[in-house]
Amino acid sequence: MATIRFTVNGKASSVDTEPERPLLEVLREDLGLTGTKYGCGEGQCGACTVLLDNKATVSCVTPVRAVEGRRIVTIEGLAEGGRLHAVQQAFLDEGAMQCGYCTPGMILQTVALLQLHPKPTDAQVVDGLNGNLCRCAGYHRILAAVGRAAASTGASTGTSTGKGGGQ
């Protein structure tokens, strides 16, 4: 057992736990942040994606000891003061979800992508989202949502609309 301290969604957290436990399970079970989802436990589907110091990270294969002193953002921490994050709003506007299970991971992956590439090319969008699986296969709408989010948060000119955004 160890005490691990880190920041989640802007709040200091401390958990007494086995240091090798996956971050996913600590978030869900110890901190009650169930918006982060288990999909495979092997880092292959992206459903458990969170931001770790602004970088998209698959929490199912991240031991909690690795987040000591670091900043985590989960889907619950994106909206501020009741106002949706631009990426959440873009997913809502595009209707970029069906069953919704992959959606939190998709949204956080997008937030990280747009921090890295505020005006991503189509190739960067596809590449950025390629580790997140959607079996309802709403990829067209998801990619369109990324484009919409980039347009709403980035500069007013020249933002990609994302591959396959049209009907």
Partner 1 sequence: MATTISKPATLVGKGIRRQEDPRLITGTAVYVDDIKMPGMHHAAIVRSPHAAARIAGINTEAALAHPGVVAVFTGADVKNLGAVPCASSLPGLRVPHHHLLAQDRVYYTGHPVAVVVATDRYVAADAASLVEVQYDPQPAVADPEKALAAGAPAVHPQWPDNTSFTFHQEGGDTGQAFRDAEIVVKQRITSQRLIPTSIETRGVVAEWRPGEKSLTMFTSTQIPHLVRTLVAGILGMPENHLRVITPEVGGGFGSKLNVYAEEALMCYIAKEIGKPVKWVESRRENFQATIHGRGHVDYYELAAKRDGTMLGLKLKLIQDLGAYHQLLTPAIPTLSVLMMPGLYKFKSISADIIGVFTNCVPTDAYRGAGRPEATHGIERMVDILAAELHMDPAEIRFKNFVGKDEFPYATTTGLFYDSGNYALPLQNAMAQVDYAGLRQEQATARAAGKLMGIGLSTYGEICAIGPSAAMPAGGWESATVKIEPSGKVTVMTGASPHGQGEETTFAQIVADELGVDIDDVMVVHGDTAVVQYGIGTFGSRGTAVGGAALFYALQELKAKIKKFGAMLLGSDNVSLVGGSCVDDATGKSVSFAEMAVAAYHAKTLPPNTQPGLVATYFWEPPNFTFPFGAHIVVTDVDRETGRISIRRYVAVDDCGKIINPLLVAGQVHGGVAQGLGQALWEEAVYDEQGQLITGELTDYALPKASFMPLIESSHTETPSPVNPLGVKGVGEAGTIGCSPAVVNSVVDALSPLGVRHIDMPLTPQKIWKLIVQSGGLS
Among residues 8, 73, 102, 149, which is the contact residue for partner 1, using CB under 8 A?
A: 102
Which residues, in sequence order, are bridge partners of residue 63?
A: 22
- SS3 for 56? strand
End-to-end CA distance of the chain: 53
Q: Longest C-alpha distance within the chain, in Å?
A: 53
- Binding residue for partner 1, selected from 59, 88, 153, 159, defined by CB under 8 A: 88
Interacting residues with partner 1 between 21 and 40 (CB under 8 A):
28, 33-40
In three-state secondary structure terms, 15 is: strand
55 binds partner 1 (CB under 8 A): no
> Helix or strand or coil: residue 110?
helix
Nearer to partner 1, 157 or 167 (CB): 167
Q: How far is the CB of 32 from partner 1 (least distance, A)?
A: 8
- The reply to whether 61 sits near partner 1 by the rule CB under 8 A is no
79 lies in the site for partner 1, by CB under 8 A:
yes
| Piece of the chain touching partner 1 by CB under 8 A; list 51-59, 73-81, 110-118, 149-157 | 73-81
Q: What type of residue sits at position 105?
A: G
**Any idea what the Cα angle at residue 15 is, between residues 11 and 17, rounded to 5°?**
155
Q: Is 148 in the site for partner 1 (CB under 8 A)?
A: no
Least distance in Å: CB of 92 to partner 1?
Answer: 5
- The reply on whether position 95 binds partner 1 by CB under 8 A is yes
H/E stretch holding 57:
strand 55-58
CA angle 49-53-56, nearest 5°? 25
- Residues of this chain that interact with partner 1 (CB under 8 A) are 28, 33-42, 44-45, 47, 74-76, 78-79, 84, 88, 91-93, 95, 97-104, 107, 126-127, 129-143, 163-164, 166-167
